[in-house]
């Protein structure tokens, strides 16, 4: 029996060989990516990927390693696709759709995840417009708010995700949200009679607004739009609930900072794309149709049986008369063996279950800076 030092020395030698082979493999993958870019070929080719996976697994001498080898090969292929996508993204001007105008939280989330040098950001008036831009191929990515830590899911966005099968979540980003009351230069709290903001802005600042019951709260499509309106009106009686960034852009005074009811307030944005990605620590599912509730119940039992944690479950009206559609998030990417097995069983039992994509949990990095890896 070899001692531990000898075994580890042999392992180190194998790892050196693996890293050298990995570099050779990635160099070839980049060359393949360049060919795809020149010939307008997609990075993800599912039939080719399935053939590669099976051919590599067939090389195993010990079949008991198959589940581990499957994870290993899938991870290699996913890393290769990421390198090829990075190459393609450098060769083209990505189009990123978001809702709102400059100075809004949606624009801030889009700019953090897709900096100026990486993408062309395009503003749209509504959440539905962002989705339509993606479905019509007028955008490569979309950035939309999914839920707020204080007020919960953004219902309109959740409904759009459940209703449109051509969308996939490929990333998420937690944006800290600090609301301010903004007024025209020289205005005071005592001047205010009307406040503009998005309905989420009002909901997240309910405690502050309750201290001023005489104020009329007027909802608009976006917090930055509220700031722009107040700036254009030039009326000391009008104020906006928006960000400090919006105050600087639209030259407004900050009458009061941090007026949100909950400390640590943040909004989780989802990054949407036309095609899914297998890598990630989370997977989203949509349950629609008449048997959606039954599908959710069975899915929860199946996930428990495979040891896959349920992270979130949201119900939305729309599954027939007094029926519901469901949005579910689970731990584990679609390339993980246990997650794969659970998903296969769930989809076999309930054909209307839709895989909405796997993605990395938000770690404070932008999508283009590595959270997509």
Q: How far apart are CA 74 and CA 269, in angstroms?
A: 27
Strands (E), the chain: 94-99, 119-124, 141-148, 152-153, 168-176, 180-183, 194-197, 216-219, 238-242, 253-256, 266-273, 282-287, 310-317, 324-331, 353-359
pLDDT at 90: 59
Give the span between the Cα atoms of 226 and 249, in whole angstroms: 12
At 371 the pLDDT is 44
**Model confidence band, residue 335 (pLDDT cutoffs 50, 70, 90):** low
Mean pLDDT of 199-215: 96
Question: pLDDT above 70 covers what percent of the chain?
Answer: 92
- Write out the two tokens for 256: 């009061």
Three-state SS letters, 129-146:
HHHHHHHCCCCCEEEEEE
Q: Each residue of 182-197: pLDDT tens digit? A: 999 999 999 999 999 9
Mean pLDDT of 76-95: 76
271 forms bridges with which residues in the sheet? 143, 171
User: Distance between CA atoms of 367 and 111, rounded to whole angstroms?
Assistant: 10
Model confidence at 29: pLDDT above 90: no
What average pLDDT does range 122-134 have in this prediction?
A: 95
Between these two residues, 294 and 268, which has the higher pLDDT value?
Answer: 268
Q: Is the pLDDT of residue 167 over 70?
A: yes
What average pLDDT does the structure give for the chain? 89
Output the six-digit token pair for 297: 């119940």
- What is the reported pLDDT for 162? 93
Residue 373 reports pLDDT greater than 80: no
pTM tops 0.75, yes or no: no
Cα 340 → chain centroid:
21
């Amino acid at each position: 029996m070899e001692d531990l030092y000898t075994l580890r020395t042999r392992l180190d030698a194998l790892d050196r060989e693996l890293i050298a082979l990995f570099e050779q493999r990635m160099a070839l993958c980049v060359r393949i990516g360049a060919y795809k870019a020149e010939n307008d070929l997609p990075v993800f080719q599912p039939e080719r990927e399935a053939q590669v996976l099976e051919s590599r697994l067939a090389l195993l001498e010990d079949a008991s390693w198959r589940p581990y080898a499957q994870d290993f090969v899938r991870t290699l292929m996913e890393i290769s696709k990421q390198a090829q996508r990075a190459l393609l993204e450098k060769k083209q001007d990505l189009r990123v759709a978001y809702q709102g105008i400059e100075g809004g939280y949606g624009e801030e989330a889009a700019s953090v995840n897709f900096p100026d040098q990486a993408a062309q950001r395009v503003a749209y008036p509504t959440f539905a417009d962002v989705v339509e831009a993606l479905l019509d191929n007028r955008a490569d990515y979309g950035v939309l708010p999914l839920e707020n830590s204080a007020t919960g899911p953004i219902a309109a966005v959740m409904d759009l995700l459940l209703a449109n099968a051509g969308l996939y979540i490929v990333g998420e980003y937690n944006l800290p949200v600090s609301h301010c009351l903004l007024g025209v230069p020289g205005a005071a709290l005592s001047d205010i009679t009307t406040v503009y903001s998005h309905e989420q802005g009002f909901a997240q600042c309910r405690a502050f607004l309750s201290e001023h019951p005489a104020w009329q709260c007027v909802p608009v499509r976006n917090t930055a739009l509220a700031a722009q309106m107040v700036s254009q009106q030039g009326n000391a009686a009008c104020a906006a609930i928006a960000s400090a960034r919006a105050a600087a852009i639209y030259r407004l005074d900050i009458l009061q900072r941090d007026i949100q009811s909950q400390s640590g307030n943040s909004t989780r944005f989802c990054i949407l794309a036309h095609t899914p990605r297998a890598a990630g620590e989370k997977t989203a599912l949509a349950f629609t149709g008449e048997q959606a509730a039954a599908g959710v119940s069975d899915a929860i039992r199946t996930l428990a049986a495979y040891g896959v944690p349920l992270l979130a479950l949201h119900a939305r009206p729309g599954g027939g008369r007094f029926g519901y559609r469901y949005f579910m998030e689970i731990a584990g990417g679609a390339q993980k063996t246990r997650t794969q097995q659970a998903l296969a069983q769930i989809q076999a039992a309930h054909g209307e279950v839709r895989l909405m994509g796997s993605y990395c949990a938000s770690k404070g990095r932008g999508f283009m800076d590595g959270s997509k890896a």
